[in-house]
Amino acid sequence: MARGIKNQQYDDFGKGLNLFTRDTMLKENESPVAYNVWATGKNSIKKRPGVVAFCTIPGGNKVDGLGAFYNGATRKLIALCGGTLYDVTTGTATALSASPTTAGVFTSGNRGDFCQAGGSLFVANGVENIRVIDSSYTVRDQTGSIKAKYMIFYKSCLWATGNTDAGNETRLYRSGSDTFIGNFTNSTANALATSVYISKSDGQYIKGFFKHQDYLYVPKESSLWRSNVGTDTYQLITNELIDPARGCDSHHSIDSVDNDNFMFQEQGVLATGYEPNILDQIRTNIVSLRIDPDLKSIQKSRLENVEGIFFDTHYYMSYTSGGGSVNDVIKVYDRQRLGWWEFQIAINGTFTGANCFSEFKNSSGEKKLYFGSGVDGSIYYFDEAVKQDAGYAVLTQYKTPKLSFGDYSQEKFFLDMLIYFGKTPGLVTVNVYIDSTLAATQTVQIGTTGTSGTGIEKTGVGKTGVGGGSLTPADSGGGDFVRIPLGITGRNIQVEITDEDTTGNRSWEVNAMHYHYKPLSPLYQPNTL
């Protein structure tokens, strides 16, 4: 290497979005823009999975709930849409029979909650009494039922809460067990059925449940409680305040994995769990600080509509951005790398998030993440092998920080940079900025050449895709570097990668970026070497 020339290489992109810190102060593995990408493998950056159109329920109503029902060897995916329950297992919506017929009628537009218990699937929506889907997949009225929004199966009983009738907003219900599961009417034969208030006079509603280490945790709007169930004949319930300041705004944001229980409160995404080596000490950590500016845009009226689910090492959270009225954004938390990513799904020019999520293993044993559209009655699932969204483009944008290599004040002469692409066919545009000014643009074709197409970018502006590339890595299958010459003086450098290939199943992957530059003396700063 020539005298005085330095090099810097970065091969870790795993931390994802940081919207909380200025892009001149970000760590090398963080990004101010990470749109429709995520980390993969050894912290490479890659285009996210596409989505497959699975089922459309007619009528134009949003999907208000999805529930997996495993009845022995039979697996069913059940959807609530327009006040009707449908079997959508095969990708075709078939309304479930009901006995009596009124049992199958729900008030449309209310988020449904599903809970399997005792070989049956229970359905609640906060308006009607809890209904039950039996082993014959018939919707029936539940004996001894109550109104509830949220349910959980715990210690052989069905637990429910979210009754919005006056005076019941802080009431926790427990049904009987065995043949009395779902029956909340206390009797000599059904002695387990009971209810208890949790801090009735604090002005906070109960917002759901989660199970953790044999305890039932009950978050309210701004507090977290633990319910202890005794071992006597009646299994009496006592409640203990765990955290007086942090709770939950949306039951449907709650999901658990290992020692982490995720839920959303106006403060952000909380991860609760026991502290290692500390007896009976529960933590409540905010893990969403780096995306806090986006989460602060959620209207208070839409906090309860935040959806969340943990699937395959990632926590998916869908919410309503800005002043919208439907969920249109999905943020994804990588639990292994502790990084956040942004997914925006554009179907026929309209952005859709998830109005509900469900993990479901089909009859072939394939486990997929399904979601109901925030726009209409469409149901989709994510698929790593697909690089479009239901046939429409997945346009991507990724930016590095403004890199100054440890000295923001030091001017540098940037000679060139190298980008190491993985062996994933795709088409990208690389833009290089020096001190925020565009210095170089290069189109990179990885693998086979395609034709142009059209799609929609994050701003909603239509874009024409590029067909064929002006630069191809030496290895025709990818897996080689592309050199971009610069010869420009500045203090910092930033790289932007966008995908404008809208033609088919194409992706891209970046494994590393390598920079060559020469630090310049404060007294001598020429334009060339």
The CATH architecture of the domain made up of 6-33+395-519 is: Sandwich (2.60)
pLDDT at 276: 59
Q: What is the pLDDT of residue 298?
A: 95
The secondary structure of residue 49, as a DSSP letter, is P
Q: Which amino acid is at 423?
A: K
Q: Using CA atoms, how far apart are residues 33 and 442, in angstroms rounded to an integer? A: 19
Sheet holding 150-154, edge to edge: 150-154, 157-161, 171-174, 194-197
According to DSSP, residue 130 is labeled: P
Same fold? 6-33+395-519, 51-383: no
Q: What is the pTM of this model?
A: 0.91
Residue 436, CA atoms < 13 Å, CB-side half-sphere? 2
Q: Of residues 137 and 526, which shows the higher confidence score?
A: 137
Domain 51-383 has CATH 1.10.10.1200: no
CA distance 124 to 142: 11
In the chain, where are the structural domains located?
6-33+395-519, 51-383
Q: Phi/psi of residue 417, each to 5°?
A: -145, 155
* Alpha carbon distance 487, 492 (integer Å): 13
Is the C-alpha dihedral spanning 292, 298, 300, 303 positive or negative? Answer: negative
- Enumerate residues 6+ apart whose C-beta is below 8 A from 311: 357, 359, 369
* pLDDT tens by residue, 36-88: 999 999 999 999 999 999 999 999 899 999 999 998 778 999 999 999 999 99
Q: What is the pLDDT of residues 330-389, one digit of tens each?
A: 999 999 999 999 999 999 889 999 999 999 998 788 899 999 998 999 999 999 999 899
On average, the pLDDT of the chain sits at 88
Query: Other CB atoms closer than 10 Å to residue 108's CB: what's the count?
Result: 16
Whether the link from the prior residue into 526 is cis, omega within 30° of 0, is: no
Residue 452 has pLDDT above 50, yes or no: no
Q: Residues 301-319: pLDDT tens digits?
A: 999 999 999 999 999 999 9
440-468: average pLDDT: 48
| Residue pLDDT, tens place only, 106-138 | 999 999 999 999 899 999 999 999 999 999 999
Torsion angle in degrees (nearest 10) through CA of 233, 238, 242, 245: 140
**DSSP characters over 161-179:** E---STT-TTEEEE--SGG
